[in-house]
Structure formats: structure tokens, C-alpha cells
Amino acid sequence: MEYSLVCHNLCALWSSPVKKKLILLSIMFLIWVYMLYSCVGYCSTMPSLVVDSYRGKETVSAVGKRTESGRTDLVSRLLAKPQPWEDIESDYEEPSIRTAASRDLLDNEMDMDRAEDWDEMRGEQQRAPEPSAMSSFSNGSGSKKLPQAIIIGVKKGGTRALLEFLRVHPDIRAVGAEPHFFDRNYDNGLEWYRELMPKTLEGQITMEKTPSYFVTREAPARISAMSRDTKLIVVVRDPVTRAISDYTQTLSKKPDIPSFESLTFKNRTTGLIDTSWSAIQIGIYAKHLDNWLHYFPMEQILFVSGERLISDPAGELGRVQDFLGLKRIITDKHFYFNQTKGFPCLKKAEGSSKPHCLGKTKGRTHPNIDPEVVQRLRDFYRPFNMKFYQMTGHNFGWD
């Protein structure tokens, strides 16, 4: 009796058209909520893995380590403490034993390079892009490719200025932060590296810059293994001025470091130069170049003068555009000279209608160095400079 009554009520309820629609909508809504809940739960726990083609194992995806919230954090990956890289061994008469002070300086220089690179990135993010600037990328078009050209050096030579100038060109797309893939992050694999790159369209060039590649022994072989056709750009500068600039950067972060003079010499009395100090070692360009020439022909390497990049930026950028096989779009009209900073600035930066100069970390005033020490360094570098001129077929006029 009770069963018949229940069936009768259900049939009456179902026979009502309005109530029938409400029941169907309710069922569909519950199914939709359940599917959404299941999808979110799956996505939040699914590991993002890629196969490391070099080591045959699974590694965390290219965009970096997964945070506790289940998302990846590229910033933490770029700012993570780098793996120490082995300095190039010295084959000169001076013993290659690094003093405690210079070893500490080298470690801190890595951290400062990374911090300054991040400062530049934050400055770029603060420049609001124009609505029409690179609009083709706003809808997700293009694809990420391994770089066809890399600015491999040198530190404090003008690499940041060159990169910023080149980014004005519509056919160049470059990652802003230094990836340090071929010196510190190589174990992460090529897919990790590729994911750091910006998207490019057909005919556009992908670029990156990491100045420490030039002095890293393993970098030439690693880049060659990626692609033997990679074009390499080296920004070189008077090695004495470069060393002082290098020291000035360190001094701005650590005012209590030893004097430039005490770090330059192993023995001030005998005038023996300490080539284990990275600020000195980087400027021995001929030694580092010899390592690269074992893997790349000279015609694939372009040497940009850091001095001419200041005095004639359009001229140097013309050479770079020719080297990359691009139309000369960046010309004199893109630059003006900033008297206060002592550097050329862009009249119109990438993605902005406003003038753009490099950040406050560029163009620091150098400390006064004993002229005798400067002369001793010039004497030390002279034979290496002559060899470098001979190797490159270009006299940079540093002597």
C-alpha cells in the first residue's frame, strides 16, 4: 500500500512539465560541479615532467620548481643559488691559488650579477607596453625556440646595453634575465632552457645573453652540441677599464672589501699580478677565445667594441644586424646621448613610447686607482691584447 502511494506521488511529480525541467537542471548542475571538482583536483596534483634528453631521467618542467601551492615559480628558479662553476685554470707563471678574499669576491659577484639582472627585469616590467606593440604575441601566436644567437660575454663589457638596443628590432626576441644555462643550469636539460625563451614568429631570431659563458670552459662544447650554427656575440672592452668596473660593482655592494690594488697583486713589491682574481682573469681575452675556436669558426663570432657601443651605438648595432642577417632598422634615430650617465639611451624602448636609459646599476663612478697600478696592468695585458688583435683581425686600440 505504502509502495503504491510513493510510486503514485513520483509519477505525479514527474508528469508536471515545470518540475520535470527543474529536476533535470538540478541533475545536470550536480554532474557539472562534480566534473569541475575532479578536474581541479587532478590538475593540482599532476606533476609537470619532461624527459631530460641528456641524462635519460625525468626532471621538473622547464618553468622551474613546483611550489607548495602546486604552481611553478620561474622567479625562484632564476634567483636560486647557482651551482659553483669552475674557474678556468691559469697556465701562467703565477700560481693559480685563489686568496680567501678573492674567492669570497667571486662568490659574491655571482649573487650581485643575478641581483642586478633582476633589477633590470623589474624595470622592464614597469614599462607599460603600447596596445599595438608586439600584438601578435598577445593572442598566444608563435612558438618557443632554442636561441639562434647568444651574447656570450664579457662581463662589464656592455652586454646589457647591447641586448636592450637589439630588442628594439622587430625581428629579435630576447629573454631579459640571464638564463646561465650553459654554465650553472645545464643539468636541467634543453627543454628547461627552451621554455625560458620568448615566443617567436617565422623569420624572427631568439636570443639570450649570459656574459659568464665566455670564461666558462664547458660552454663552447655545450653550445655546439645544441647547434653548431649558433651565432655568438662578444662585447669586449679595455681589460684594465673592465677590471676596474668589475671591482666597482663589487665595491658598491660590499664597501668593506680590500682595495683594488691589494687584490690586483700577489706581491705588490715584485709587481706579480694575481690572475686567479676573476676581475683580472676575464680580461685575458685571447686565452678564452682560444677555447671557443676549438668548437666554432671565427666567422660565427662577432666582436663588438664596448667603447664604440658608447661613442657610436648605431654603427656597432649596424654591424650586429648585418651579422645576424637582419635589415638595418636600428639607426641613429633611435639614440640620444645622456650627459648625466655618460651613455647613449634609447629614444623609444621596446614596448614603450618613452625614452629609456639603463638602470642605476649601470654607469657607476669608478674609484681613483693608483696610476702606477693602472700602468702595471696595461703592461700585463699588452701581449694578450696583441694576440687578441691578431686572432680577431681587429685592433681595438686599448694600448
Catalytic residue numbers read 156
Residues in the chain: 399
Distance between terminal CA atoms of the chain?
113
Nearest to 210 by CA among 239, 230, 191, 238: 230
Q: Cα–Cα distance between 286 and 154 in angstroms, integer?
A: 13
Q: Cα–Cα distance between 220 and 300 in angstroms, integer?
A: 12
Chain centre distance of CA 346: 20
Q: Cα–Cα distance between 61 and 181 in angstroms, integer?
A: 14
Is the Cβ–Cβ distance between 236 and 303 less than 8 Å?
A: yes
> DSSP string of 52-86?
ETTTTEEEE-TT--B-TTS-B-HHHHHTSPPPP-P
Return all residues near 81 (Cβ < 8 A) that are at least 6 apart.
Answer: none
Nearest to 244 by CA among 208, 295, 283: 283
Return all residues near 321 (Cβ < 8 A) that are at least 6 apart.
Answer: 169, 327, 328, 329, 330
Chain centre distance of CA 180: 6
Q: What angle do CA 180, 63, 58 make, to 5 degrees?
A: 95
Burial of residue 231 (CB within 10 Å: 0-12, 13-18, 19+) is: buried
